[in-house]
Structure 1
């Protein structure tokens, strides 16, 4: 049988090094390594499911917090996941009293969706093959995220696995960046430059100097690449996420900008000063629900305030700090414009100018989006800041 390769793990000391998932079999409980990039704990209740399992039964169990370890055909598991998704989408949406309420309800619904759909599990062998009929070859996608195979069988949610496959395809194909006339290839967990407005702002704002720039929170390396293409001779790019550092290095090397750009592991600023310091922090000051959301949410405005409060000490005389920020959070009622202006002033900075751009992404015109009111009003700005 296809599942026979997932052995009962012996109780070695290394069992405590990672979470394990335990499920019942005819000969007693079996366990395997549990993988979750979203840091979701393993389910306490697990049942075996296969091609005979109905979507209604699967959905009911998942809503109750019981995980289903799949033993049937892989493509049938994908169809079951789609059927469970349709059942989730039938639930009526709560009416929001305000944009902030809409945002909180939206995140609550996303979290419930992730929890419910994350209950359908599939096995992975030690070499990242899936021991199921009609399963695709996901070895490269898994290796890009989980690292080299450890020869240990594991269990992963099908939804996460499909996310890994999707990220692998994005990474192969890349994202077209008109300002570069090139593609940027995002890695799993690194914020993808699919929204190009902020890139265009960096591409068109007059540069204070061509000598040097700091790129704080390099991500995929897209802004460093734009600055390099514009002729900035030396760029020091920082990030503290190992995935972002690897991703930026790969992109900048492929584009031929690795001699101009030095990539440094640092929390915000590198040492020294620069005539230009660029930062595009996450735009929404909400608490990330998982490690992967750190690219999207800046809890308590920590990165934004860290950048503002350290900027004056890292600018050369008459240098400029470019803060790229959307006012989306302002339209949601999570931050005010006055709060931002006070934070800039408290950091011994002054606003020398501002470039604005309206979003062009599909969600901006999607009237069914629960956050449509905030999205339609959104403006992304590049704030040109100078030390007082």
Structure 2
């Protein structure tokens, strides 16, 4: 295994270092300055825009307020009109989102070796961190040398009162996401297709909060109740719906460790673990099934975080992988259910003809199609820069069979 990234900075005239953690893969910042309750939002915003990270040593609640103030300054900036071309508009919108995330990600907080936040009025984030990151690891030697262990100097000023040695630095934005994800995991997401029972998404696993695609799987006529494959199961929601519909055995695959753990936990919680076998695989398990279900990422673009891999798929890798392997994993009269939004078509990222051509090249024929329109608020938000595409979106369940 590669050594964890280490970030270095100078504090109170002493060299410091700690492990660097970033879920979206951001590199350790090259320059860090200390910030506290006296730091003004304009100053913090300017430094963050210039690529300087701010390590917070003040009150945790004040750090949240500073983050909000920085976000307001980003949102107040004059916006360039998006181009008329839908694909160009999408890419420019994504670039603006990524720039916003980069700037806000420059506000850092420390975590100690047990994932506690050594700041005044900080919440207990240890459970959220353990669930997302796993058990705390030994601190690398670079992050626990004499300079780090020495702690703050004598008679510290206000910026140094909380300058406890840090095992890890992480962006405040990421920690807030951890807290929110942990609450969602506890609360769960109600799924009407499961009779109102809840799916509990893990951190980094896409939540089925937008549930119209689940309703399609709950309503489509089953070709068989003997066996089904659920490709890219995520939370296990579709496998659980199929089990509740009476499919006697479902093999649910994924290659993400978080998703595998999440699906197993949810199928146990819902009482369908005896029917659902969760296995690690890149797309298909061995063998053939009379029903193979897949809900791949809908938009061919680059993800910027692990959870975005459920939405963005560069080059339609999973879509084409599923289609090209489907015929070899279907029984002669079997069906493949492809659940796919046409949002990428409205954004100019994947022509409809390209999808139909992919079916034909994979030796598949269309047996039928069920459509549903989105119910999520963004579909009706006229202030969304991509409203025209979102408002026209339709999600489909394509029933595919082997071409004769």
TM-score category (smaller protein): over 0.9
Unaligned runs of 5+ residues in structure 1 are: 1-13
**Separation in 2, partners of 1:215, 1:257:** 14
In the other structure, the counterpart of 1:238 is 253
1:1-388 equivalent positions in 2, closer than 5 A = 17-97=3-83, 98-150=85-137, 152=139, 153-181=167-195, 182-388=197-403
User: How far is 1:297 from its partner?
Assistant: 0.6
**Separation in 1, partners of 2:106, 2:7:** 12
User: How far is 1:106 from its partner?
Assistant: 1.2
In the other structure, the counterpart of 1:4 is none
**Separation in 2, partners of 1:26, 1:167:** 35
Unaligned runs of 5+ residues in structure 2 are: 140-166
User: How far is 1:335 from its partner?
Assistant: 0.4
In the other structure, the counterpart of 1:3 is none
In the other structure, the counterpart of 1:8 is none
**Separation in 2, partners of 1:223, 1:94:** 41
SS in 2 for 1:179: helix
SS in 1 for 2:339: strand
**Separation in 2, partners of 1:26, 1:208:** 69
In 1, are the aligned partners of 2:202 and 2:262 still within 8 Å (CA)? yes
**Separation in 1, partners of 2:375, 2:332:** 36
**Separation in 2, partners of 1:60, 1:70:** 16
Q: Could you list the runs of 4 or more consecutive aligned residues of structure 1 that deviate by over 6 angstroms after TM superposition? A: none
User: How far is 1:151 from its partner?
Assistant: 5.2
